[in-house]
Structure 1
């Protein structure tokens, strides 16, 4: 069976060519305009010699070029590798090399780090968005405007439905980030069924303040809108006043965000803004505190439905089934075609009840094909035919699922996953640090804050603020520890492993 995810854009453009697809503070783009622009990108990429299956890394914030590049990559049968614009050079180089990317599309915001990264990964070409100094870039580096100027056949590559569309990098609690292969079919089914379950309406306008390089923003918001022909109100960066202004300007009906956004909006001064168009909210990325949920709902007068998903589940795995049937603090029920179980350490299914907490495992049309070039990790994650999420939870007697904790040590800061080992490995390279442990500590605004506990080498000296500043220069902004505690020696367990539980208790 042949199928390409970009068909969603084409069909919506045929059904409503003049309808706004994307609304930005500076203007709007219709479905026909985005379809045409992405077709030009696809034509240009083919002309440059890229062939189906080649990887293209895209490192941009929520700007029009992200969307035209994304659908252009899909139309050409290429594989998207979305990268956070906040990544540092070493992180970018790792992703490019591990994914076998042949091209990086990046912009002014990330230019300095990207240019340094490309020097470490020979053979990767670059395309630059906006006004970027071309000095020091690889030979053949071009401008994104050149892609948009291409003319030719606007064919959508008729690949197989199970071909990889997006290689989305994620991490477990050990090892380096790994690429989850999401197919055209899994992404299509997820946004189709997820949108139907959530209950989208023809005239809905969905807020897009979540980044498109993240699975929530890419799959649930951007793909979901393209699939159902909805309009997206794009806010390039989260700021409460910018969000409130977009809601009023674009008559936003669906608010989609992570708990920290709801917390900030609940606390913000919304007087003077007309938010009466809002009818429903969607929360994901982390568990939303009850107080935050109630404060936002009371202030804005709309229900917020919590869901659950991972990069490996193409975003959506469960959704609360409507405001009149939801359960507060529950992640809802599995979407159509997806199964969820709670299992013990021996992978035996546990019965319903809050007293039966175990690991959440999933299977269905939305699950990743596996981890790119990591067969052993893929087999481990899919043991018994179920994808093991690493999250702990339970299911009640009515089939509603609840997440109670992370099985490992994952820190979720403001909706972003921060993997302690990655930060610890960086801290171990500090000349004064002997040992390091990274933890998540509760934070009212962000959900969790990244905190490091370190011991110093004999005779070495460092101040906590100096270590924070050092890490800030070498790792993405959402990852570096905001607080560092220095102690004489990190506590150990019987096997010599650092006892993080004791650090948390201390």
Structure 2
């Protein structure tokens, strides 16, 4: 038997009065979190929810998310986390695709969620922080306290704990089936790598409905009995204030967050001396952001790499004393990674041997829910194909170059957008940059840069083109430049390049 909710039950038994959740409204102890999730579990069981039943959960980083999350798991049901930004058709697709019959949503997303639920014929809708005119029923209907702990449903390690939908940056989202064992290991192994302790406070701003925040912040913190400092929505001010208020020791983020925090502290001061380690994932962090952040905040960044389909972690830098800056680290315990060419042949180490990362091990999903053909394609050759391009060095550290689907082929030459973006980020007037390929009749594709300028900088197309032309080969520099006020981002802060093409 292995039910992922055991991580909460064990931490509550060991540290009942220790803080589990820190938030704007106060503190919730481990005993309280365990008891409140028991109440949700008991209420769901009385409504016929049981082992294997999918239950959708849509909320920002508020205490009700972990309360409902672990309550669902305790029944043996499957958590289906939904992004709070989804529109009704997207909600309907994910509810139908997962087979969900019960939805727990949040007042801020309830109108669209209810419309999507109606399209998917889902009638059991509960709303966190419901107002008088909110659709569905109030979440409080599921929170009546119980007198006895709810026994954890007997689940096999290979049973599904969650169906997590891909971000949809390159197509229609598909649901990755993640097992109890995978998710337990993805909480346990990474935490051991940077020696997390029960006394740590994990700044939790990564969305808990995304696998990175769910596995690498929430589950990891609960597994080791830490306090989670919940921030519902990323803004530099909110994050820095929470670090100062809660004396956070660990910050997990994506590269855009590190860049925004760095820019904000140019003019604002907060006490961040409690931080002892930062973790970057979700995308490769630009080298200049990496260096500047470490210098400004005097804290090491450990970069890792993972995907929704791998329950989060594939590789990680082992620790401040054994890391390789600008690398995403080495495969974590029990995980294999190889670099393959287009013919499925393993490539030797070296930065001149760029290929696709393929992986296998306990961390890879069971498959895409209801999509056997897509699953078979993803596991062609017995390894999961990540779609990411990179190389390994002689010591086994991996370096990401780009997404395979984002590779630009200009006149027969391969252009890796991230390489050009790294150059653009070194320009003092560039705050954010994204490079994409656009159709071109003569060359097949042309290189285009989309730029967000720093305040006070009036950039021109000619300036950007000339800057890049001096620093990269002639076939790589962008001939097309567009300026925008902001780049489109996913809920986790990754640039939506498909919206830029």
Do the two structures share a fold, i.e. TM-score over 0.5? Answer: yes
CA RMSD in angstroms, aligned pairs only: 2.9
Q: Is the Cα contact below 8 Å between 1:342 and 1:357 reproduced in 2?
A: yes
Q: What are the residue-to-residue correspondences of 1:350-365 with 2, within 5 Å? A: 350-365=347-362
* Counterparts in 2 of 1:347 and 1:481: CA distance versus 1, 3 Å: closer
SS of structure 1 residue aligned to 2:79 = strand
* Counterparts in 2 of 1:480 and 1:315: CA distance versus 1, 3 Å: closer
Q: What are the residue-to-residue correspondences of 1:97-246 with 2, within 5 Å? A: 97-134=96-133, 137=135, 141-151=136-146, 153=148, 154-170=150-166, 175-246=171-242
Q: 2:335 aligns with which of 317, 335, 338?
A: 338
SS of structure 1 residue aligned to 2:248 = coil
Deviation at 1:197, TM superposition (A): 1.3
Q: Counterpart of 1:433?
A: none
* Counterparts in 2 of 1:280 and 1:483: CA distance versus 1, 3 Å: closer
Task: Tell me, in whole angstroms, the C-alpha distance in 1 between the residues paired with 2:499 and 2:195.
Answer: 45
TM-score by length of 1: 0.80
- Mapped pair 1:94 → 2:90: no
Task: Tell me, in whole angstroms, the C-alpha distance in 1 between the residues paired with 2:305 and 2:492.
Answer: 25
**Which 5+ residue runs of structure 2 have no aligned equivalent?**
408-416, 422-433, 437-444, 455-484
Task: Tell me, in whole angstroms, the C-alpha distance in 2 between the residues paired with 1:242 and 1:175.
Answer: 32
Deviation at 1:202, TM superposition (A): 3.1
Task: Tell me, in whole angstroms, the C-alpha distance in 2 between the residues paired with 1:440 and 1:285.
Answer: 23
Q: Is the Cα contact below 8 Å between 2:56 and 2:102 reproduced in 1?
A: yes
SS of structure 2 residue aligned to 1:69 = helix
Q: Which moved more, 1:169-178 or 1:155-164?
A: 169-178
Q: 1:403 aligns with which of 386, 391, 400?
A: 400
Deviation at 1:340, TM superposition (A): 0.5
Q: Is the Cα contact below 8 Å between 1:88 and 1:476 reproduced in 2?
A: no
Deviation at 1:254, TM superposition (A): 0.8
- Mapped pair 1:321 → 2:318: yes
Task: Tell me, in whole angstroms, the C-alpha distance in 1 between the residues paired with 2:38 and 2:177.
Answer: 24
SS of structure 2 residue aligned to 1:49 = coil
Task: Tell me, in whole angstroms, the C-alpha distance in 2 between the residues paired with 1:367 and 1:481.
Answer: 24
Q: Is the Cα contact below 8 Å between 1:198 and 1:321 reproduced in 2?
A: yes
* Counterparts in 2 of 1:352 and 1:286: CA distance versus 1, 3 Å: same
SS of structure 2 residue aligned to 1:252 = coil
* Counterparts in 2 of 1:272 and 1:288: CA distance versus 1, 3 Å: closer
Q: Counterpart of 2:18?
A: 19
Task: Tell me, in whole angstroms, the C-alpha distance in 2 between the residues paired with 1:173 and 1:109.
Answer: 24
Task: Tell me, in whole angstroms, the C-alpha distance in 2 between the residues paired with 1:481 and 1:284.
Answer: 16
Task: Tell me, in whole angstroms, the C-alpha distance in 2 between the residues paired with 1:155 and 1:3.
Answer: 13
Q: Which moved more, 1:199-208 or 1:360-369?
A: 199-208
Q: Is the Cα contact below 8 Å between 2:169 and 2:496 reproduced in 1?
A: no
Task: Tell me, in whole angstroms, the C-alpha distance in 2 between the residues paired with 1:10 and 1:142.
Answer: 28
Q: Counterpart of 1:285?
A: 282
Deviation at 1:79, TM superposition (A): 0.5
Deviation at 1:118, TM superposition (A): 2.0
Task: Tell me, in whole angstroms, the C-alpha distance in 2 between the residues paired with 1:118 and 1:481.
Answer: 26
Deviation at 1:151, TM superposition (A): 2.4
Q: Is the Cα contact below 8 Å between 1:393 and 1:401 reproduced in 2?
A: yes
Deviation at 1:255, TM superposition (A): 1.3
Provide Cα deviations, 1:71-112, integer angstroms capped at 9, x if missing partner. 000000000110111111111111111111011111111111
Task: Tell me, in whole angstroms, the C-alpha distance in 1 between the residues paired with 2:491 and 2:400.
Answer: 27
Q: Is the Cα contact below 8 Å between 1:260 and 1:445 reproduced in 2?
A: no
* Counterparts in 2 of 1:19 and 1:177: CA distance versus 1, 3 Å: same
Task: Tell me, in whole angstroms, the C-alpha distance in 1 between the residues paired with 2:66 and 2:104.
Answer: 12
Q: Counterpart of 2:297?
A: 300
Task: Tell me, in whole angstroms, the C-alpha distance in 2 between the residues paired with 1:223 and 1:398.
Answer: 30
SS of structure 1 residue aligned to 2:313 = coil
Q: What are the residue-to-residue correspondences of 1:72-87 with 2, within 5 Å? A: 72-87=71-86
- Mapped pair 1:254 → 2:250: yes
Task: Tell me, in whole angstroms, the C-alpha distance in 1 between the residues paired with 2:345 and 2:498.
Answer: 40
Provide Cα deviations, 1:320-370, integer angstroms capped at 9, x if missing partner. 111122111100001100000001112111111111111100111111011
Deviation at 1:444, TM superposition (A): 6.1
TM-score by length of 2: 0.81
- Mapped pair 1:389 → 2:380: no
Q: Is the Cα contact below 8 Å between 2:103 and 2:122 reproduced in 1?
A: no
* Counterparts in 2 of 1:341 and 1:49: CA distance versus 1, 3 Å: same
* Counterparts in 2 of 1:14 and 1:349: CA distance versus 1, 3 Å: same
Task: Tell me, in whole angstroms, the C-alpha distance in 2 between the residues paired with 1:366 and 1:476.
Answer: 23
